[in-house]
Structure 1
Amino acid sequence: MTTVKWKTKLAILATGFLSFIGILIETSMNVTFPTLMHEFHVDLATIQWVTTGYLLLVTIVMSTTSYLIKRFDTQKIFFTAALMCLLGTLLCAIAPNFPTLMLGRWLEAIATGLSTPTLFHIITSQIPAYKLGIYTGFATMVTSFAPALGPSYGGIINNYTSWRFIFWGVVPIIILVMLTGMFTIKLPARHDNSRFDFLGLIILASLMITLIVSIDQGGKNRFNSWQFGGGLILVLFLLIIFLQHLKNGHRQLLNFTILQTPLIGLRAVNFFILQFINIGISFVIPILAEETLQANSMTAGLVLLPGSILGAIISPFAGSIYDHYGSWPPLLISNVAILIGAILFASTVPQMTLGLILFFYCFMRGGFNFGYGNTMSDASKLVAPASQPDVNSLFNTLQQYAGSLGTGIMSAVVSAQQINLHKTTANVAASAAKGCQLDFVILIILAGVALGTTIIGERILRKANH
């Protein structure tokens, strides 16, 4: 059996921690929204771009990594990511206004967009197949500790000092990670001389941005407004252009043809929904806790901590189950647990307490971590080694856009309930509760679809084995 070198382990750790920092800051910022709204004099529909805009740019950057990983040495990609993370974090820490804060967040988005696919590229390229589930689970655990710590980290700092120390606090870690990665990452590129699909990137980015902006307009002007309807028409038009480009273009930004394999397509849908629910729920819960239950930002963050830690601990265990028993047990547990959690949230909003949020979130987070890493691991095993970077890049692009879309939709639904609202404490609490309950109903529907993909996928596997 092939052993894994310590340099490889440290390379995975360095890249994982760079992704960790991006997710840590992203989830830390969710609990600071009321503070940022007051300091920068903007509303919820605007401040949510701190997360939505970040995730959107992460998605766009990730869509280029299939090409970048083949064209450039992994060490160069990592160094670029680490440098962007450092510069963006420093800019956010000193931001005098909202546009400067967003500029810093965009630089951090470039970093995360490069580092996360690089992490999984190192694993799929340098880890033997019989240990793939465990190492993917470990990578998922590292990045899962970020959402475990993020809301608590952000809430405590925001409550006792200033939100700016969210950024100052990670600067030493970024420098340490940068040095570790530069000395341990030695994975060369294939130096593929294929040309980059700039037209595809422009069309795809336009499509993604237009959809998010349209949803944002629905939250600001209601979902029956011309702004929302007109935006959806433009989205449909761009989608048709993009599909034509996929059909006729000689260069492809992402290898969407791998989705023609039914099982990979089902895993991609499941993966997308898992991340949509994961990021969406982490946005909704602080809003529910702070605006409806009148908790402070520290409490709103701490209530997510037990479930997030549980999920992080589960990841390697779930990977081990996958290695020994295949995809069916962990993916079934994952999707059933998420469906139960979403139903519990939606059915108890009028009676909601912080204790119930903590308990229900354990179902959601535990379920997410049972399926998240294993879904992508399973898809990567269904293609030839040369196509694994394509799976890596496509799935990471899907999951980041799922997060951006999840935050955008969850925010828009809540914002739509507060249009023309006379903003007393009672009115804001009632409208937030109604919006959050509608969000949970959306999550129930998506969880049901995800469970369906798992059941259909298992039937396909059983037919193939007979």
Structure 2
Amino acid sequence: MEDRVSTRVKLSILAVGLLSFTGILIETSMNVTFPTLTKELNVSLGTVQWLTTGYLLLTTIVMSTTAYVLKKFHPLKIFIFAASLCLVGTLVCLFSPTFPILMAGRLLQAIATGLSTPLMFNLIFEEIPPAKLGLYTGLAGVVISLAPALGPTYGGIINRLWTWREIFVGVIPLIVILFILGWFTVRGKVRGTEGISFDYLSVVFLAAIFSMVLFTFDQAGKHGWTSSQFILWIIASVVVFLLFAWYNKKSSRQLIDFSILKLPVLRLRLFGYFSLQFINIGLSFVIPIVAQTALKMNSAQAGLTLLPGSLLGALLGPVAGTWYDKKGALPPLLTSGILITVGSALFWINSDNLSFVTITLIYIVVRLGFNFGFANSLSDGSVQVTGRKKSDQNSLFSMMQQYAGSLGTNVLSVVISAVALTSGTNDEVINTLMGAKLDFILLTVLSALVLLSVIYIYYKYEKKNN
């Protein structure tokens, strides 16, 4: 009976999880509408891309505050605030006549997602017994991993059949239902913030660092990897990061207790968690670009290449979590590392011969690898800490996985842009395929490093304890 999970707890996690799902779904749905929005709202592509970049950046910043927020406020109050902002932001977007108003609505939705995602995991860590932790984090991982891949399909079909505004119409009933469900089911407790004050300066530092890193890579896309602009922004970003590290070490106030990163297993699980999301979101950006630009698919077809892998991966998430509960971290994480490395390498090897079928089949391999490892990396990271530090671990992992999506999109898009600067040809198809091939090489190397981290943890820390 100790391992029994009540219906009320299940419904509370469902309500908060689907609220996160809604925010992420809208974010990736909007990507395929950019060409339409540039014409209707009379703005450039560089400007309209802030609907995604600004959203992801603010979500990341909000998540950085949740270690404090989850200790300070009752979970129900956080949920009501997040759901209300999501609804208001959706209505603002739906009726927005201009780009600034649409951007304002997207930022309200970003705050909602930034609160709801860590809250979902906090409810799991607080109310789910250890024997079922892997199963429920696997289910939660489905929320985070499925929405980005379904978004292009949903947005592409809606935009093709109606207009971009119907993307928001479709989620309003769901938000209202989730608000009501969460009102009656979300519970929990307040850990308290005695002796802890909110660290506003850390928020400013993190916002500056995250923004500067994105802007640094933008310089490479505009001026090249060897440009003085790119190098100067690297130096500036490193300086600000070092200042933040110094401040965090000396200050009595801490937004997040970064001392948990001294735990080697947690640190490497965070690397795996971040890298898997970087690969996941990065591919959900690159594949539609290649499909539409090089293979001449429409937006709906491009989105559909991601659908089979996304659905199979979603079905696998709870299975992978149960495997973790029964056998420990090594079997699912090793399988994850192998599959995602093989999948990324197949994209690289077949980059000149991609088709609807090959993209779909290889993406299935990648998504299976992703879902074997993503939520289980979080689960294994969470058991490394106890007490109040669980909120810090939750906030840190949530913040970094969100930023991984932003950085993945940014870096992989910059690689394609930089190729166009140096290729010596104006052929968009050739430049896109060359840039995508470099992206696939990058993702293959990153996947291999994730695999090596799993093997290293086992032989260095886990084998001796078995």
Query: Which residue in 1 is equivalent to 2:436?
Result: 436
Cα distance in structure 2, aligned partners of 1:201 and 1:195: 13
Aligned residue type for 1:206: A
Q: Is the 8 A contact 1:338 1:363 kept in 2?
A: yes
Is residue 22 of structure 2 the alignment partner of residue 33 of structure 1?
no
Measured after TM superposition, the shift of residue 208 of structure 1 is: 0.8
Q: Structure 2 length normalisation: TM-score?
A: 0.95
RMSD: 1.8
Aligned residue type for 1:377: S
Q: Structure 1 length normalisation: TM-score?
A: 0.95
Counterparts of 1:446-465 in structure 2, within 5 Å, are: 446-465=446-465
Query: Which residue in 2 is equivalent to 1:270?
Result: 272
Aligned residue type for 1:29: M
Is residue 141 of structure 2 the alignment partner of residue 140 of structure 1?
yes
Q: Is the 8 A contact 2:79 2:116 kept in 1?
A: yes
Query: Which residue in 1 is equivalent to 2:307?
Result: 305
Q: Give the SS at the match of 1:285.
A: helix
Q: Give the SS at the match of 1:275.
A: helix
Query: Which residue in 1 is equivalent to 2:18?
Result: 17
Q: Is the 8 A contact 1:147 1:308 kept in 2?
A: no
Change (3 A) 1:447 1:421: closer
Aligned residue type for 1:208: F
Q: Give the SS at the match of 2:114.
A: helix
Counterparts of 1:83-162 in structure 2, within 5 Å, are: 83-162=84-163
Cα distance in structure 2, aligned partners of 1:274 and 1:40: 35
Q: Is the 8 A contact 2:145 2:280 kept in 1?
A: no
Aligned residue type for 1:318: A
Cα distance in structure 1, aligned partners of 2:463 and 2:424: 59
Bigger drift between 35-44 and 297-306 goes to 35-44
Cα distance in structure 2, aligned partners of 1:144 and 1:215: 25
Counterparts of 1:30-429 in structure 2, within 5 Å, are: 30-42=31-43, 44-193=45-194, 194-419=196-421, 427-429=427-429
Q: Is the 8 A contact 2:343 2:363 kept in 1?
A: yes
Unaligned runs of 5+ in 1: none
Cα distance in structure 1, aligned partners of 2:464 and 2:41: 57
Unaligned runs of 5+ in 2: none
Q: Is the 8 A contact 2:191 2:388 kept in 1?
A: no
Residue by residue, what CA displacement relative to the aligned partner does 1:44-74 show, whole Å, maximum 9, x if unpaired? 5444332222111111100000000000001
Q: Give the SS at the match of 2:352.
A: helix
Q: Is the 8 A contact 2:149 2:284 kept in 1?
A: no
Q: Is the 8 A contact 2:16 2:119 kept in 1?
A: yes
Aligned residue type for 1:236: V
Measured after TM superposition, the shift of residue 409 of structure 1 is: 0.6
Cα distance in structure 2, aligned partners of 1:142 and 1:400: 13
Measured after TM superposition, the shift of residue 232 of structure 1 is: 1.0
Q: Is the 8 A contact 1:221 1:416 kept in 2?
A: yes
Q: Is the 8 A contact 1:48 1:411 kept in 2?
A: no
Measured after TM superposition, the shift of residue 34 of structure 1 is: 3.1
Aligned residue type for 1:312: A
Cα distance in structure 2, aligned partners of 1:20 and 1:220: 33
Aligned residue type for 2:171: V
Cα distance in structure 2, aligned partners of 1:300 and 1:47: 20
Residue by residue, what CA displacement relative to the aligned partner does 1:383-426 show, whole Å, maximum 9, x if unpaired? 113321111111111101111111111111122234599998xx
Q: Is the 8 A contact 1:66 1:254 kept in 2?
A: yes
What's the % identity of the aligned pairs? 48
Cα distance in structure 1, aligned partners of 2:197 and 2:137: 30
Q: Is the 8 A contact 1:28 1:153 kept in 2?
A: yes
Cα distance in structure 2, aligned partners of 1:200 and 1:316: 36
Measured after TM superposition, the shift of residue 430 of structure 1 is: 1.7
Cα distance in structure 2, aligned partners of 1:14 and 1:191: 24
Q: Is the 8 A contact 1:254 1:390 kept in 2?
A: yes
Bigger drift between 334-343 and 307-316 goes to 334-343
Measured after TM superposition, the shift of residue 294 of structure 1 is: 0.9
Measured after TM superposition, the shift of residue 38 of structure 1 is: 4.1
Aligned residue type for 2:111: I
Measured after TM superposition, the shift of residue 42 of structure 1 is: 4.9
Q: Is the 8 A contact 1:310 1:366 kept in 2?
A: yes
Q: Is the 8 A contact 1:283 1:407 kept in 2?
A: yes
